[in-house]
Amino acid sequence: MPWDAQRPGGAEGASAARLRAQKQCRKSSFAFDQAVRDLLPVWLLEDMRASEAFHWDERGLAAAYSPSEALLYALVHDHHAYAHYLLATFPRRALPPPSAGFRCCAAPGPHVALAVRCNRVGILRRSLRTVRDFPAEERARLLDRRGCGRVEGGGTSLRVTCELARPECLFLLLGHGASPGLRDGGGLTPLELLLRHLGLDSGATPATGAPAVPGEAPAAAGEARQRRLLLLDLLVLYTPAAARLARCELLGEDKFQWLAGLAPPSLLVRAMQVLVTAISPCRFPEALDELPLPPFLQPLDLTGKG
């Protein structure tokens, strides 16, 4: 396998053979999903992938999973070893878009956004290390990929980090060159979306004391807000001063003044901006370990092991 379901025997025979092949594909696909979920060894997963047919391709033939499609399974089930193997062995084939059966539109490969959604920091870091060697245009297309307008709101992976409060993923994306100024389908930049999640839409005051999500426990809401504030601190290191920013208590007067471009940032903020933006994407985040920063300025675990 993979095999062609169009066998001799007339139309009825071909139809019956196709139905049998479809049934076998569903069984094989389910078995592969279970194997990845159970974190089986890489060699066994690759043996399954090479010897079984799992889905129907654009030509109507039963086909094996590509490295790109296998990487989606590794991301969903957090199989670090398998994800790292696919990215190291098939760097040019693991990140392109999967076949039509795995996507609803012609957007570029969804792997980076999926890693953010599933909070797979370690696999995201390895994926971004892989794209370092890609041509600049291809690298930018993957980092600034706009998701499906129906499912992902037409936003980039940075938008997903702000929506789900993933500061580690945000820092990795920004350090590798993701653009912080791109707008989603609703016309919002990641910074504007983040401020909205903090209760700061234009002309409004924050809803103090209210959970960020209906039904969310106060402790969890407080933790989510702290993560969003950390997201804000990281995002502004890479974002130029923004005009027409709504005044709010959560930001504080000093931060509002320099975010709105009305005053320069503090010496500490400016020093951090220079430090992080001076690091080449080819050496991020490894170069952070070489900086003589105190522990309180290194609050994030970018290895995915924490």
Higher per-residue pLDDT: 8 or 268: 268
> Is residue 245 very low, low, confident or very high in pLDDT (cuts 50, 70, 90)?
low
Establish how many alpha carbons lie within 13 A of residue 33's alpha carbon, considering only the half-sphere containing its beta carbon.
Answer: 9
Residue 55 domain-assigned? Answer: yes
Whether 120 has a pLDDT exceeding 90, the answer reads: yes
CA trace torsion 150, 221, 196, 191 (10° rounding): -90
CA distance 19 to 84: 35
pLDDT per residue as tens digits for the range 70-117: 999 999 999 999 999 999 999 999 998 888 777 666 666 789 999 999
Specify the CATH number for the domain of residue 211: 1.25.40.20
18 plus 122 within the same structural domain: no
**Residue 39's pLDDT is what?**
96
Which of 65, 81, 113 is the last residue before a domain boundary?
65
Strand intervals (E) in 147-252: none
Within a domain: 76: yes
Write out pLDDT tens, residues 214-238.
455 556 667 888 888 888 888 888 8
In which domain, by residue range, is 27 found? 1-65
At 17-69, the pLDDT tens digits run 667 767 777 888 889 999 999 999 999 999 999 887 677 666 666 778 899 99
- What is the dihedral sign for C-alpha 80, 81, 84, 89? negative
Residue 305 falls inside a structural domain: no
- Report the sign of the C-alpha dihedral through residues 100, 105, 108, 110, in that order: negative
Domain count, the chain: 2
pTM, whole model, 2 decimals? 0.81
Residue corresponding to tokens 């000093």 = 254
